[in-house]
Amino acid sequence: MASSFMIEFAHLRIPLKSIHNATNNFAECNFIAEGAYGKVYKGEFSLSKGQTMGAVKRWNPSNEDGIPEFRREIMLLSDNRHENLITLLGFCDEEKERILVYEYAPNKSLDFHLENPNFTWVQRLKICLEAARGLQYLHDPKGAQRVLHCDIKSANILLDENWNAKVSDFGLSKYGPATLTRSYLITQAKGTYGYADPAFLETMIYTKESDVYSFGVVLFEVLCSRFCIDFSCDNERRSLLVWVKKSSKDEIRDKVIDSNLRQQMEQDSFDTFLKLAFQCVEREPKRRPSMDLVVRTLESALKYQEKRRLISKLKSASGVLSGIAVAAVLL
């Protein structure tokens, strides 16, 4: 890596020996996942704040194209810190190794839980809201530059030990001037099939509205408990967005959404969430909401749902009190 880069980020450097010790030489028992970049392992590190569990992303040595992405993640995560963004603990670039060490998210990523019948509507709402806050921070920073994530998907929303959402994987992300109402970048087509903004694919112009589109796809995945593209389904249902756009609100509620999840939903919460999801995936980018509006709308959807939970608790408590009163009379 360039010497100037090393000097600027020297405080984040972790010796390769420490990484070997933390992962037991990348032992299989510490393996977490694998992607196009390489493999991820967990390991315990001794850092300034004490013993810390970390997720170690070990880039494939043969992937020379990954060097810019490697540096980009270091720069972006060093400049941008938020409770709903994954934290970079450090990096290593010794002996042809390129390694990034992040905070460990023991509950994996959102995509692992989409089809879980025990994954409640309240949990889903909170995770969507927290991820939206992370993306909101990137789009509307305090400084001079905003960040366009460029690869929002359920697999890039990690969940910590308390199920708090953390937006991750900034290898494709780009800086844009925050002073402009609509930051845009002319860039090559990258991202993930099924999540990419069709307007971007046609023009090669990526905007913050492109991130909003991808986030809208995630909202539909969360609502419908399935991936945006499912090749096990017939042609009509293979693309989740095509399917829901051909369906009425009642059909989505009664035929697409899992019955267990549907029974948990307060009607206003469902209506608010569904309307937002459709707004995010509008064909025209200018018709999509800002992440500020996305956050406020998800807050409303959660409040509607929490109101239902509160009413249920009050009814339950009222029933208990009534039973006590009846028992007292009988005595």
The residues carrying an active-site annotation are: 151
CB within 8 A of 214, min separation 6: which ones?
Answer: 149, 151, 152, 153, 191, 195, 196, 197
H or E stretch covering 244: helix 240-245
Q: Of 158, 5, 178, 17, whose CA–CA distance to 87 is shortest?
A: 158
| Span between the terminal Cα atoms of the chain, in Å | 82
Give DSSP secondary structure letters for 141-187.
Answer: -SSSEEEE-S---GGGEEE-TT--EEE---TT-EEEETTSSS-EEE-
Q: Residues 45, 99: contact at Cβ < 8 Å?
A: no
Residue with tokens 């040595």: 61
Residue with tokens 């020297």: 10
Q: Are strands 184-186 and 157-159 parallel, antiparallel or unpaired?
A: unpaired
Q: Which two tokens stand for residue 30?
A: 């510490």
Q: How many C-beta atoms surround the C-beta of residue 178 within 10 A? A: 16
Q: How many C-beta atoms surround the C-beta of residue 310 within 10 A? A: 10
Give DSSP secondary structure letters for 37-71.
Answer: TEEEEEEEEEETTEEEEEEEEEE-TT-GGGHHHHH
Q: Of 279, 281, 278, 252, whose CA–CA distance to 265 is shortest?
A: 252
Q: How many residues does the chain have?
A: 331
Q: How far apart are CA 128 and CA 163, in angstroms?
A: 11
Residue with tokens 């956050």: 295
